[in-house]
Structure 1
């Protein structure tokens, strides 16, 4: 093996380790470097709901999901305690130097959130693993399931809650084909529409004849990063003899500003019919009005400041919001949809060593319906996480 080839392999392995976060090189077999990583995390949460707690099986009890926040009168105030280790995850990756001098990488990652239980909390607390990422990348191309090109994962702040700015961020993982060249990347991604039908019911449809299309520009500088992304897709509803479609567009700007040892992260997203792409689907993509789709406009965003008190202690202060521009002429169809959602949070994190973190976080969240009916939640969360 030549010195040049050895250098190429070394640089390639370094790039892969950076791309696959919290990974450790386990072995080299032939021309393939094998990596693994992940973390073990336990979360304990005390949550006080102004309008009654969701059922214990509700995903909003495991992490903050804006659409599950109950609304009603303060007379139904209810506090509950939950504890789980479902966010723990494991990833496995490979990096292979090919005969043509190029490298092909792969990654598979699983966790246990939002998946079916294989047991119960009475005895085993078993949960089925779910796929997070499964992709290969080669020569600028990516094939498989990973974060949507419309999302900027680098803008997500460090929080104990699984998502953090849940109502204010683009948050989607799905199958796609993506090509990256320089600062630009473009993707064709799996389509899916969420449509409001009579009485406010949500219907998920998978009848689009075209993939979702995204474009992204990333600017990296000494001061931080700035990302602009665009989305174009087809909303569809083909049921009960109805064949309706509508075009959806969205634009998102996000980034990170370095402030010495501290940083400021942000995102602002606006669009027509964004639906499932924003706020964990706190609003649907469109309303079925007779035999036509009326896309729902929305604006969302967040700002987060992280302060490093010293080498072991740090805090993140976060504000997140979502606002839907519902067509009030269609309320007889939609019932009483979400008009707005917002949350505030602050945490304190302590890492005695780099890969071990103890933390406490307080979150206050609010949701208001178009009628003005609202509800809120106060949550105190404690977590311990070890990355390997």
Structure 2
């Protein structure tokens, strides 16, 4: 019994000894685990701080590169060498947007693109516009065939003569367009640019069946060229043309009668105010009828030279053109001169003009309204004399409303005995428009126009049109 009591009394003593030995071990293990967790947390915090610092440095580098790139782009010349700012709907191209009045105070103009798209050392850009044209037309002496250019915009030689008048309404969006550009600066400091632009008008490629259900129109190449410093190679506006003199119209070009208008393949060199080019040669001539015959017999390129000056007052340019005109059996020479520019008449008014003339000017005026040459009574090829011009007055009513009043005309010194009585001799047109921009890059426009055409035999015809548009530039 005594031994049992002694054994019982030794149990608490053993428990106390075990507790004394076990508790410090547990406490030590817990302390070691907490230390490891603290160390891991500190390590994670350090890694997170390092990643944050690296991200901030990368953002600073991107911001610096962007600022440097924007400064380089701002310091470079425009994509179209030697050209003044574009101003007419049909003239837009070459990576630029038509000039518009400044937005109201407190509402800065939003850029087309905040930054360029960067891939390596190349910078890509894009733009264009969506344009709906709605026209109501009346002719006095004949009908303009459906699906032809004269039904979609003002085409001087399409004004009918010698028939019964007609009227019709047309809607289309074929002049909507898109462009893509790429440029880079090499390590040696060379500037290289590329540009391509399309619209959906192919010179009257629509047809009645197409308008019946789909109104699908294939893309049409307008511009495709590359620039290397002062050199331009590819298809773009002829160097003989002054883009900055063309006024803003609701119609595709509007003042077609007096406008130098051609896009073609060329090689151009620009230095300061001077530019020179070798351009695609093509001779269109008349052989006893009003029809224009195309000749592919040319052996020498068309040669142009242009000089331009500009300032706060506006700009002024003089351009010359020299050509070889050739058929399969004969050849002659063509020459032309063009004077163009703009002049500011105050804070809100601008005068724009072009006057051109010479034997062989032909296809460079008014969508080829006149032939380059004709066969005379002896069958010899003679350069056709042509004189054309326009003047336009633009007024900005306020920051979002402006209007243009324009007159254009052309005279072809032809002989009905050699070119036929229905060959165009004289055209002229007036137009007045009002264009409202509720916010930048959206234009709502309306334009009234009147045109008259006279042929070599004396017949005349008139055209009146109300033309409205909705246009969004992006």
Tell me if both proteins adopt one fold, taking TM over 0.5 as the criterion: yes
In structure 2, the partner of 1:27 is 117
Cα–Cα, structure 1 residues 367 and 270, in superposed 2: closer, same or farther, change >3 Å?
same
Cα–Cα, structure 1 residues 301 and 15, in superposed 2: closer, same or farther, change >3 Å?
farther
Q: How does 1:45-64 map to 2 (within 5 A)?
A: 45-64=135-154
TM-score, normalised with respect to structure 1:
0.93
Q: Please say which structure displays the higher CA radius of gyration.
A: 2
- Stretches of structure 2 that go unaligned for 5 or more consecutive residues are 1-60, 80-94, 98-111
8 A contact 1:115–1:127 mirrored in 2? no
1-structure distance, mates of 2:444, 2:259: 25
In structure 2, the partner of 1:120 is 210
User: Does structure 1 residue 378 correspond to structure 2 residue 464?
Assistant: yes
User: Does structure 1 residue 266 correspond to structure 2 residue 353?
Assistant: yes
Cα–Cα, structure 1 residues 147 and 333, in superposed 2: closer, same or farther, change >3 Å?
closer
Residue aligned with 1:121, SS? helix
1-structure distance, mates of 2:205, 2:424: 27
1-structure distance, mates of 2:245, 2:466: 24
Cα–Cα, structure 1 residues 245 and 269, in superposed 2: closer, same or farther, change >3 Å?
same
Cα displacement (A) at 1:116: 2.8
1-structure distance, mates of 2:236, 2:445: 28
Cα deviation, 1:175-216, whole Å, max 9, x if unaligned, reads 000000000000000011110012332101121110000000
Cα displacement (A) at 1:331: 1.5
8 A contact 1:340–1:369 mirrored in 2? yes
2-structure distance, mates of 1:82, 1:6: 46
Larger deviation: 171-180 or 282-291?
282-291
Cα displacement (A) at 1:269: 0.3
TM-score, normalised with respect to structure 2:
0.77
1-structure distance, mates of 2:330, 2:72: 48
Larger strand percent: 1
Residue aligned with 1:363, SS? strand
Larger deviation: 307-316 or 49-58?
49-58
- Kindly tell me the number of residue pairs found equivalent between the two proteins: 379
In structure 1, the partner of 2:407 is 319
Cα–Cα, structure 1 residues 384 and 109, in superposed 2: closer, same or farther, change >3 Å?
same
In structure 2, the partner of 1:309 is 397
User: Does structure 1 residue 331 correspond to structure 2 residue 420?
Assistant: no
Cα deviation, 1:284-310, whole Å, max 9, x if unaligned, reads 111123441111111100000000011
1-structure distance, mates of 2:68, 2:379: 58
Root mean square deviation, CA, Å = 2.0
Residue aligned with 1:122, SS? helix
In structure 2, the partner of 1:65 is 155
Residue aligned with 1:204, SS? strand
